[in-house]
Amino acid sequence: MTAASPAAIARAFVTARQQATGFSDYPGPIPPSLADGYAIQAEALALVDAPVGGWKVGRVPAPLVERFGADRLAGPIFTPTIHALTPDATGLVFAQGFGAAEAEFLLRIGQAPHPAQTSFTLEEAAALVDAVHIGLEIASSPFTGINEHGPAVTVSDFGNNNGLLIGAAVPDWQSLAFAEIDISLSIDGVVAGTGRAVSFPDGPIGSVRFLLENLAARGIRLQPGAWISTGAVTGVHEVRVGQTVVADFGPLGTAHCVIRPQAAA
């Protein structure tokens, strides 16, 4: 194994996560494709004992979609980092790395897809969902430049995820009207971004379809009860330890947390 291998890069990320440290240089050559990024992610997954309780889906920046051949990316969310929102909720970030908070709709899988199915319609994807909640994704990586070198780099470190905070359930979610609601996210009382989930290609259900097909192609089974964080509605908002984040989902309620440093395992 050399310093250039996917296994070595994966180990560098997993070790830094376990030790809650950070670094400013990518620990190897930049992966040139999403396939290379997912290969590193697969190596890293094999090094982590914690079960996967969900998956984050992120957007590939529009100028890079043609080059990388996808408009979304995926990364695992480990069960110990998934929490119900409470009045004293915290979002944990790697203080020496990159940290951000994202307002998201969280969709729960109620039925596993057929193991032989590799492509899905939007209707088939929606039929596998049994609940929608509001919430926050905590996007954090030991690598300070995780979002500055393209989506393959983001993918290589678990999609830049470090937790999921699950808020209130969305009533009548099957109508998909929730995707039309104006949402804002504030940091220390200052609005950092606004948006609607309908702006995603094919909306939040499009994110579910993408993940189903992505995991099928990678030979990964999506289990009932898994959460899908469907994408940052208002943007990816960098945060620092001590800041307070509030996502306002209008009639659906709010999701909030205080940013704290991730401790070593």
- Joined together, the tokens standing for residue 164 give 């999921």
Q: What is the pLDDT of residues 155-200, one digit of tens each?
A: 999 999 999 999 999 999 999 999 999 999 999 999 999 999 999 9
Q: Residues 240-254: pLDDT tens digits?
A: 999 999 999 999 999
Give the span between the Cα atoms of 150 and 30, in whole angstroms.
Answer: 9
Rounded to two decimals, the pTM is: 0.96
Domain 6-261 has CATH 3.90.850.10: yes
Mean pLDDT of the chain: 98
Token pair 């609607």: residue: 196
User: CA-based angle 153:54:39, to the nearest 5?
Assistant: 35
204: its two tokens: 């939040």
Amino acid symbol at 206: G
Neighbours of 63 (CB within 10 A): 7
Q: Which residues contact 127 (CB under 8 A, 6 or more apart)?
A: 111
pLDDT value for 1: 42
